[in-house]
Structure 1
Amino acid sequence: MYMGYIPEVLKLLEREPIEDTADDQLYFTMAYLDEDFRNEIEMKLDHKSEIFQNIYGVEMDLDLYSEEDKAGGPERYYVKNRSTGTKPAVLHGNGPSKHVLNYFGNYIPNMWNIDEGCTKCKSRQIRLKNKAPYELPLVFLAIFIELNTPFLEEQLEKIHALDYPKEMMHLFIHNNMKYHSGHVKNFTEKYGAEYLSVKHITPEDGTAEWRARDLSLDQCMAKNCDIYFSVDSIAAITNKQTLRLLIEQNRTVVGPMLARNGKAWSNFWGALTKDGFYARSSDYLDIVNNDKRGLWNVPYIANCYMVNATLLKKYDRTVLNFNKANLDPDMAFCSTLRELDVYMYVSNRGDFGHLINYDTYDITRAEPDMYQIFDNELEWEERYIHKDYRSNLLPDHVPRQPCPDVFWFPIASEKFAKALINMMESYGRWSSGKNEDDRIEGGYEAVPTRDIHMTQVGFDPHWIQFLKQFVRPLVLKGFQGYSNHTPHSIMNFAVRYRPDEQPFLKPHHDTSTYTINIALNQVGVDYEGGGCRFIRYNCSVVDTKPGWILIHPGKLTHYHEGLYVTKGTRYIMVSFVDP
């Protein structure tokens, strides 16, 4: 980098002949070392980086900082060299330091500030609103299932729900997980006919991830697509406008910012180490937490992104691909894009969705998604909590009381009830229904049932969380004065009633402050008879509904019995809270 008056610059450039293939850096060095020539044109080196700042090798000396605008406008960002104390006016990044230059470019010159946010996000945007379907870009949608993924059925439904005409979309699915074969088959049978074409690669095909991703790029070109849209199974896209918004942003490569709920794990990197792996930029958490919103030039993006097909037309698979030694496919692709000087952007201008946490997903369990209440709370609630649950919590909601101080609420979905039954029956070790029970302290149960404890299926901590998160608010609706109550329960179990096993339960008090009882299947369909009779009040609840919870006092007032099941099998879930 150099600057100066034209006459002196011309003297510098014409000092001696130089071949096009020669080393221009050596040329300028020799000119500077010629003391007479240096003095003649008054040539100086910017030792302190007062004007020029070469980033390579001194990345750690450079800080991004802001200053208030003296005229009262928004703050302005600058780069400061800590070693020299200077504020260079020109930044230069070459080779491996280009990603640092791109990072600074997110803020300077005047690219982002607190008042206005992203000042250039709207530049180059296009509008899709009011366009007829045939006028929209042709999209190649590529879905990749490379991991066993919690709640995959819901993620596929969300992808299909994107607000974009399916007659302008080709569908490509690579499923590498046998566990999900049925989910994908159901999805393609249900929706496949809506798309222009469907390509489905199954686990039995044995296609490696990188090869499938390369193939998807070639397929996009073969279909003459305008947009390549890649979505991994762990990307939960909750904003139906996501695809349109990404296309309208009109960048070569752009994706929505997605992070695990409440975590710093996201689908982009803000910086790189010297060897090209993850490093955290100073603004990473601000972006992930949406404290700063905008369109960010980043060195790595994965899981969900859009590529303008002009890039695919420019480079074939010998150049642009997902295969590079010692790198995962996503890292290989981004590494190639960086080498080609293709900018990758991540947008958090709006809320697009989040990432699914797959770390604890154990498909050896009968119902692995049921165990995801901690790691994927939003999806867990969407699938397993009753659609009317939230209405229970409205200030003017009056709880149902089929019997005195027996409160009845919708709490769990039909899928929850069926999953819990399947968990128990898959485990299969129902108790004998006798008083002797080595599962409990003392080894004696006064009022035994045919049951399976949550501890036996590894579900007890998850069930306690369910009590805290979903049952506790209902208890507060019914029993005033329990405002500081946090549920404590050591007896959580599913009960099975059958005419040929245990058809009823004798009158008893529960060893609890209050008891919860959730019906898991349908009276009149799955079984006949059954229900609960509160003897003191001569009041029975027999028309129980799957997923509905009965909450009643335990130790003192509500002496009760389980009524005869005359046909079929009745399942309930019970907890003795605060024994």
Structure 2
Amino acid sequence: MKRPVLLLLSWMCFCGLLQPKLLVVTVATEETDGFRRFLRSAKHFNYTIKVLGRGEKWSGGDSMSAPGGGQKVRLLKAALQEIKSEDRIVLFIDSYDVVFASSPKELLRKFQQAKHKVVFSSESLIWPDRHLEDKYPHVREGNRFLGSGGFIGFLPNVREMISNWTGGDSDSDQLFFTKIFIDPARRKSINITLDHRCRLFQNLHGALDEVVLKFENGRVRARNVQYDTLPVIVHGNGPTKLQINYLGNYIPNTWTFETGCTVCQENLRSLSTEYPLVLIGVFIQQPTPFVSVFFERLLKLQYPKDRLKLFIYNQEAHHEQQVSSFLQDHGGLYRDVKTISPEEEMDSTASRDFAFDLCRKDKECDFFFNLDVEVVLKNEDTLKILIEQNLPVVAPMITRVGRLWSNFWGALSADGYYARSEDYVDIVQGRRVGVWNVPYVSNVYLVKAGLLRSQLKDRDLFSSQTLDPDMAFCHNVRSKGIFMFVSNMQTFGRILSTENYQTKHLHNDLWQIFENPTDWEERYIHENYTRIMKDKLIENPCPDVYWFPVFTDVACKHLIEEMEHFGKWSGGGNRDTRIQGGYENVPTIDIHMNQVRFDKEWRKFLLEFIAPITEKMFPGYHTQVGSASWTVLKF
């Protein structure tokens, strides 16, 4: 086609007399989680995508550590030579870390308003050769430097631009395009400009403080507050993968205040025909309260026992009796059981790698379900819910009672540790409900076994010289481009505090009324306690004496056994050195609560569960619990 005709076509497109045909081209040698997210965003706005390099080995280098990407230019050059229709507008973008935020109509309108034949994305940071900075043209406003992760242009101009490419696959595509742009003659000949104010493209590297989410009229966009623009395409280039993951939780309309989560019910796995086989890894790494209750809940998990295998790692001799009791009574229900006891001296990091390897080598294993013993899994359908989500790594959100502590992080600091994302509190407190792409999960999560045999086949995923096992695992998952998710679509449970748990008593859980009050109440307070006034469960056997349900049978049993275990009963005489003055007017055979160091816990119990009842039974009196010695009598 003659050049005057091309100019006429371009002029007619700019004037709106012709509707240009948009061709979106990207390179994806692997179908990663990021690529699937890119396609989902394209589908949302009805973009048609041409994917280059499928099934081809990536040899374009690692742009995170060194320049590369030449393979993309080679593939694009070959693809454009096959296109016959000269009136096409070509959008060439990365895909693994890119999402569309608006429609092709807006993209083309903004491209036409740029009044150039080729428009590249822009950056505030120069890469890969900072010595070329002086050769860049100066700009009055906006980013000055070219970004090669996205550009749009008329097919003839793009074809001309890359016609001289002769580089290798590992050569720098950004350097190639930069040298074209900083050459005044070529820049003018091809008619190239940069999207200086991020109207079409938003590169996040160097611009994280400029980009915020904008919620308006049931839509969500990324807004550049520096230039007050709404980019059509958002690119998490360089070290901003976590930030694009965060934005991708909302864009394009993935979650809005009006609709909530719009994709949480997509691509679900049905359990109507067959239950996949799951290896549950239980990890006991420190003295933990309510371990017996943990195993009771594990038994109640609503999943066929013949489709479950158990791996139990116990590092604490204190809990050996509870593990063996559970296995003796119920181990035969499961398809298989493997245990590691304290005597085997396997450290916690090795135990997690070992557990993954058990699933990896087992051809029957479909999922690995990590379950730390401090997890209080109240939702008996948790495992089924996570499997149905059909995600690579997914955790049920659990929190610590009364605190913002949870089993996920919304963001990471520069050194790879915890940082709070803008939406963290809203997610933890349930004001935003959905399935969220996050950089870190721990304690309880489900992993597809297929990943353990492919991208996560390294057998030291939890090992690191600087990171703890959970952080090392999540770092390795992120480095493979695998997404981790946390769901707060339902209430799943909570996590225990283990910080001040002591093991010097017979029934140490009795002392948890301060550290884990909810679990203490569930274990030791009678199920009818909250109904005693409403349902008139209080009995009055004689004047001013009232009976009502307050303790469970387990509480009574534990208190009795604790005192018998202590065994230092008083002699029942008047002389009693335990009390001030040493004389007891009404002697009994007893043990004082302070003798077993339970006096603070007992006072808390009286204030929380007895005082409210006495104040209702004796109107006008305020109950005070003093510091007197409380006593357990022996009958």
Tell me which interval the TM-score lies in, with the shorter structure as reference length: 0.7 to 0.9
The residue that corresponds to 1:494 in the other structure is: 631
CA–CA distance in structure 1, aligned partners of residues 206 and 573 of structure 2: 76
The residue that corresponds to 1:14 in the other structure is: 163
| Matched letter for residue 270 of structure 2 | R
The residue that corresponds to 2:450 in the other structure is: 310
Unaligned runs of 5+ in 2: 1-149
The residue that corresponds to 1:261 in the other structure is: 401
The residue that corresponds to 1:80 in the other structure is: 223
CA–CA distance in structure 2, aligned partners of residues 3 and 475 of structure 1: 77
CA–CA distance in structure 1, aligned partners of residues 582 and 210 of structure 2: 68
Q: Secondary structure at the match of 2:153?
A: coil
CA–CA distance in structure 1, aligned partners of residues 358 and 499 of structure 2: 32
Q: 1:195 aligns with which of 319, 327, 334?
A: 334
Check whether the contact 2:537–2:548 (CA below 8 A) recurs between aligned residues: no
CA–CA distance in structure 1, aligned partners of residues 504 and 198 of structure 2: 60
Shift of 1:433: 5.0
TM-score by length of 1: 0.79
The residue that corresponds to 2:557 in the other structure is: 418
Q: Secondary structure at the match of 1:351?
A: coil
Shift of 1:45: 1.9
Shift of 1:294: 0.5
Q: How does 1:39-118 map to 2 (within 5 A)?
A: 39-67=188-216, 69=217, 74=218, 76-118=219-261
Q: How does 1:413-492 map to 2 (within 5 A)?
A: 413-431=552-570, 445-482=584-621, 485-492=622-629
The residue that corresponds to 1:287 in the other structure is: 427
Q: More deviation in 457-466 or 35-44? A: 457-466
Q: Secondary structure at the match of 1:383?
A: helix
Check whether the contact 1:451–1:493 (CA below 8 A) recurs between aligned residues: no
| Matched letter for residue 332 of structure 1 | A
CA–CA distance in structure 1, aligned partners of residues 537 and 397 of structure 2: 41
Q: Secondary structure at the match of 1:96?
A: coil
| Matched letter for residue 625 of structure 2 | H
Check whether the contact 2:357–2:459 (CA below 8 A) recurs between aligned residues: no
Q: More deviation in 330-339 or 379-388? A: 379-388
Q: How does 1:537-548 map to 2 (within 5 A)?
A: none
Shift of 1:458: 3.1
CA–CA distance in structure 2, aligned partners of residues 340 and 316 of structure 1: 8
| Matched letter for residue 337 of structure 1 | V
Shift of 1:432: 5.7
1:425-483 CA distance string (max 9 Å, x none):
4555555656566655666554444444333433233222211221123324533345x
1:387-443 CA distance string (max 9 Å, x none):
3333323x2415211112211112112322233234444555555656566655666
Once superposed, what is the RMSD of the aligned Cα atoms? 2.1
Q: Are 1:218 and 2:357 an aligned pair?
A: yes
The residue that corresponds to 2:468 in the other structure is: 328
Check whether the contact 1:61–1:81 (CA below 8 A) recurs between aligned residues: yes
Check whether the contact 1:399–1:477 (CA below 8 A) recurs between aligned residues: no
Check whether the contact 2:371–2:443 (CA below 8 A) recurs between aligned residues: yes
Shift of 1:34: 0.2
Check whether the contact 1:125–1:249 (CA below 8 A) recurs between aligned residues: yes
Q: 1:28 aligns with which of 177, 189, 192?
A: 177
Q: 2:315 aligns with which of 158, 171, 176?
A: 176
Shift of 1:95: 4.4
| Matched letter for residue 5 of structure 1 | F
Q: Kindly tell me: are residues 96 and 153 of structure 1, through their superposed partners in 2, closer, same or farther at Cα, counting changes over 3 Å?
A: farther
Q: Secondary structure at the match of 2:515?
A: coil
Shift of 1:200: 0.7
Q: Kindly tell me: are residues 25 and 374 of structure 1, through their superposed partners in 2, closer, same or farther at Cα, counting changes over 3 Å?
A: same
1:79-108 CA distance string (max 9 Å, x none):
223333333222111343111110111111
Check whether the contact 2:353–2:459 (CA below 8 A) recurs between aligned residues: no
Q: How does 1:118-267 map to 2 (within 5 A)?
A: 118-129=261-272, 131=273, 135-224=274-363, 225-267=365-407
| Matched letter for residue 85 of structure 1 | D
Unaligned runs of 5+ in 1: 498-569, 571-579
Q: Kindly tell me: are residues 316 and 114 of structure 1, through their superposed partners in 2, closer, same or farther at Cα, counting changes over 3 Å?
A: closer
CA–CA distance in structure 1, aligned partners of residues 600 and 160 of structure 2: 79
Q: Kindly tell me: are residues 457 and 48 of structure 1, through their superposed partners in 2, closer, same or farther at Cα, counting changes over 3 Å?
A: farther
Shift of 1:341: 0.5
TM-score by length of 2: 0.73
Check whether the contact 1:139–1:168 (CA below 8 A) recurs between aligned residues: yes
The residue that corresponds to 1:511 in the other structure is: none
CA–CA distance in structure 1, aligned partners of residues 575 and 253 of structure 2: 76
Q: How does 1:334-349 map to 2 (within 5 A)?
A: 334-349=474-489
